[in-house]
Structure 1
C-alpha cells in the first residue's frame, strides 16, 4: 500500500489546528477542573483526533473530523446541562466524599473512593499531616484533590517549630510511624520504634482486636501515643456536606 506522505503531513497539521480550536471552544475547565467527565471528554477527543491523523484517505479523515466535531458539541451541551442542573452535575462529575471526620477514618466512604490507606496517608503527608487524628474534616473532591480542615489544636505552631521546622523523627518518617496497614506489619518501622511484636499484639488486644487481621491501620509516635483503627469497629454515621 502506497502512503501519501503529503496527505499525512497536511492531515496532521490541519487536525492539530482543528483540535486546538475545539479545545478552546470547550473552555478552560478541561485544564483547571479535571473531573471524571472532563477526563473522559478529553481522552475521547484525543483518540478521535489520533484517528484523523492516522487515516490515509480523505473520506475517512472527513468522517473522523465530523465525529470529533459532534463529540465536542455533545460535550459542550452536557457541560451546559451541568451548569443548569445540580443533579446532572453530580451524575457527570461526582460529588465530594468525606473520608475523615473528627479524627476518625470513615471506612465505608474510603471504599467508595477506591483509595487505600497508603495512598490516603501519602495525600495527608503532602498536606503536612502525619496523622488523621489531627483532622476535623478530610474531603476527597471530584477533581481528586484532598481538602482538609484540621482540628483547632493541630493548627497551633510553636516558636520551636518556626526555628527548627517540623519534627520528622525517627529517621524522617514523621511524628507518627505506621506499624500496621491492612493487617500487615512493617517490621523495619516497628524495630525503629524500639518496640517488639509482643508489645504490638498487647496493644491490639487492649484496643479490642484479636489479631493483625482486625487492624486496618496502626501508628505510634515517639511519646508512645497510639492511633489504631480496627476492621470490626462499627462505622460512625457519615457526615453530609
Structure 2
C-alpha cells in the first residue's frame, strides 16, 4: 500500500516516499532533456521555454504534494518532451510558421520605432544590449537585430571597427588550444609524442623553471605561442 501511495498519491506518504518520488522525477527530467537535445538546454525558441517551465512546474508540484500522482507526472514529463521534439521538427521544416523571425531594430544607423514597439523593446533595453556588445554610441551601429532567442545582434559600421592583421599586411595568427603535458604529477605521454617531444625535453624545460621532478608539478601546458605554462 505504501508503494501504491508513492506512485498514485495519498494524504500522507512516508518520508522515504518523497525521496523516491524526487529521484524518479529527477531521472525522468534528465532523460527528457537528453531526448530533447541541445535546443532545450539553450532555449532557442518560445516553445522550448514553455516546455522547460511546464516540466519544472509539474516536477515541483509532484515532489512536494503527497496527494499528487507520480505516475501522471512521469507521463506529463515525457509527453512534454515528445511535443517539444515534434515542434523542433516542424521548426526545421517551416521555421516561419513555428518560430519567431528576427526583427531589425536599427538599420543603417536609424532606429525602427515600429519594430521596437511591436517587439516590446524599450530604448533602455536596446542601449543596454548595445553597451554589452561594445557599442557605446548609436552612431557606431549599422544594424541591430533582435534574434528569435531574445538576444540582440549588433553590427558596427566599418569605419568604427578595429584594424585587422590582414589590413596591416601582417601574417595570419592561428588560434590553438593549449596542450596538456602534465596533470597532477602524471605525464601525458600521448600529447608529448603527438607534438614531437619527449620526456627529456620536458624535464629540461621544468629544470629551467626550478622544478627538479615532474612529480612536484601540478599542471604543465604547452601554450599556442610556444611557451610553457607551469603550476605547482
Q: TM-score range by the shorter chain?
A: 0.5 to 0.7
- The number of residues matched between the two structures is 154
Give, in whole Å, the separation in 1 of the partners of 2:80 and 2:122.
35
Tell me if the contact between 1:52 and 1:61 (Cα under 8 Å) persists in the aligned partners.
Answer: yes
Q: Tell me the equivalent position of 1:138.
A: 144
**Distance 1:17-1:84 versus aligned 2 partners, 3 A rule:** same
**Unaligned stretches of 5+ in structure 2?**
1-10, 164-232
Residue 64 (structure 1) aligned with residue 70 (structure 2): no
**Unaligned stretches of 5+ in structure 1?**
158-241
Q: Tell me the equivalent position of 2:120.
A: 114
Q: How does 1:74-223 map to 2 (within 5 A)?
A: 74-89=83-98, 93-156=99-162
Q: Which runs of 4 or more aligned residues in structure 1 lie more than 4 Å from their structure 2 counterparts after TM superposition?
A: none
Give, in whole Å, the separation in 2 of the partners of 1:88 and 1:38.
15
Give, in whole Å, the separation in 2 of the partners of 1:68 and 1:49.
8
Give, in whole Å, the separation in 1 of the partners of 2:55 and 2:162.
47
Greater radius of gyration (CA) = 2
Give, in whole Å, the separation in 2 of the partners of 1:2 and 1:52.
13
Q: Report the CA distance between 1:104 and its aligned residue.
A: 0.8
Tell me if the contact between 1:105 and 1:132 (Cα under 8 Å) persists in the aligned partners.
Answer: no
Give, in whole Å, the separation in 1 of the partners of 2:96 and 2:146.
19
Give, in whole Å, the separation in 1 of the partners of 2:38 and 2:25.
20
Give, in whole Å, the separation in 1 of the partners of 2:116 and 2:95.
24
- Deviations for 1:17-67, whole angstroms, at most 9, x for unmatched residues? 11111110010111235322211111011111112212325x711122212
Give the TM-score normalised by structure 1: 0.59
State which of 41, 55, 59 in structure 1 corresponds to 2:51.
41
Q: Report the CA distance between 1:156 and its aligned residue.
A: 4.3
Tell me if the contact between 2:12 and 2:66 (Cα under 8 Å) persists in the aligned partners.
Answer: no
* Secondary structure class of the residue paired with 2:104: strand
Give, in whole Å, the separation in 2 of the partners of 1:35 and 1:76.
12
**Distance 1:139-1:23 versus aligned 2 partners, 3 A rule:** same
Tell me if the contact between 1:52 and 1:65 (Cα under 8 Å) persists in the aligned partners.
Answer: no
